[in-house]
Amino acid sequence: MTGRKGGITKERLATILTVAVLVAALGIGLGRKTGWRSLDLRAMAHKLKPVLPEPQDTVYAVLNAARAGDVKNYFANYTGAMETALRQSMAESGEAAFANYLVQSNADVKGVAVAEPQQISETEVKVRVETIYQDRNQVQTMYLEKGPGGWKISRTDADERVKTLIPYGTPVK
């Protein structure tokens, strides 16, 4: 080990390990002085429960997956009859064509506004999603169900075109 250029010598390794042990001891000492008495892993695990995504996170995940043509993640955010219908559509066209459809249908999107969810029941919410295009806006209500894996889209209402007074991108005078 010694004498090789760029290698770690035994002395260098001993120095690094000594510094690491001293830093750990200092950390433990400071921790106890500031109130740490013992490391209670059960209490820490209880406090660090996984946070499930909110319904809006699911809507954004679907939009991002569609924009990227990521069929797997797109389907991961749907459930029930809606998921079945979408999978049937993909089976009829093929995965590559379906991925291309997702990308093309989102190519002209300039922005998205996702409203706060409205509670329908303990396990269902509805969310108003407004999609902004250059020449129009469209509004759609999505219904999401909460399951073991988080929120998933179970159904949607038809798109409604919203009249825009000033088209997206119009210069301000």
What confidence tens digit (pLDDT) does each residue in 73-99 have? Answer: 999 999 999 999 999 999 999 999 999
Q: Which CATH architecture has domain 55-162?
A: Roll (3.10)
Q: What is the pLDDT of residue 15?
A: 84
The mean pLDDT value for 122-141 works out to 93
Q: Which of 22-26, 43-47, 54-58, 159-163 has the highest mean pLDDT?
A: 54-58
Kindly report whether the global pTM for this prediction surpasses the value 0.75.
Answer: no
What gap in Å lies between CA 165 and CA 40, rounded to an integer? Answer: 60
Using the predicted structure, report yes or no on whether residue 41 has a pLDDT greater than 70. no
Mean pLDDT of the chain: 86
Q: Domain coordinates of the chain in residue numbers?
A: 10-47, 55-162
Please say if the pLDDT value at position 30 is more than 90.
no
Question: What is the residue-wise DSSP string for 53-121?
Answer: PPHHHHHHHHHHHHHHT-HHHHHTTB-HHHHHHHHHHHHHH-HHHHHHHHHHHHTT--EEEEPPPEEEE
Assign 26 a pLDDT band (cuts: 50, 70, 90). confident
| CB 77 within 8 Å of CB 65 | yes
Q: Give the model's confidence band at 10: pLDDT under 50 very low, under 70 low, under 90 confident, else very high.
A: confident
Does the pLDDT value for residue 150 go beyond 60?
yes
Place of tokens 């038809």: 158
